[in-house]
Amino acid sequence: MNKIEEFTSLINNLDELDKKKFNSSEFQIVNNKLQKLLDEIASRKVELQKDNFFLDHKNMFLEIISKIESLQDKMIPKAEIINSFSKSQL
């Protein structure tokens, strides 16, 4: 599986987690995998730019960005509620 497919799969996993009852451990696992992949891509940024990787996959990146924005719109309010509740319990 290439990096774009892996990234898309992880984003889809986050979307599925959002549809289910929130489970922080599952979310953390997917989030850690996503962070590791992003760190790896960032470390290879110069190399990927030389190969025109980003230009060659522009439409795929635009689709990924759209998915991320959609997830952000759905998950941030939930995270804020959970955070607020956690603070009130302290």
> Could you read off the pLDDT tens digit of each residue along the chain, which spans 90 residues?
587 788 888 888 888 887 887 677 787 888 888 888 888 877 877 777 777 776 777 777 778 878 888 887 877 777 777 777 777 665
Q: How far apart are CA 29 and CA 37, in angstroms?
A: 13
What is the rounded distance in angstroms from the CA atom of residue 26 to the CA atom of residue 56? 33
The range of the structural domain enclosing residue 75 comes to: 3-89
The reported pLDDT for the residue numbered 1 is 52
pTM of the model: 0.58
pLDDT at 89: 61
* Domain count for the chain: 1
Residue 34 contacts residue 3 (beta carbons within 8 Å) = no
Nearest CA-CA partner of 3 in 66, 60, 62, 71: 60
| 37 contacts 7 by C-beta, under 8 angstroms | yes
d(CA 11, CA 5): 10
Question: Which run of H or of E encompasses 21?
Answer: none
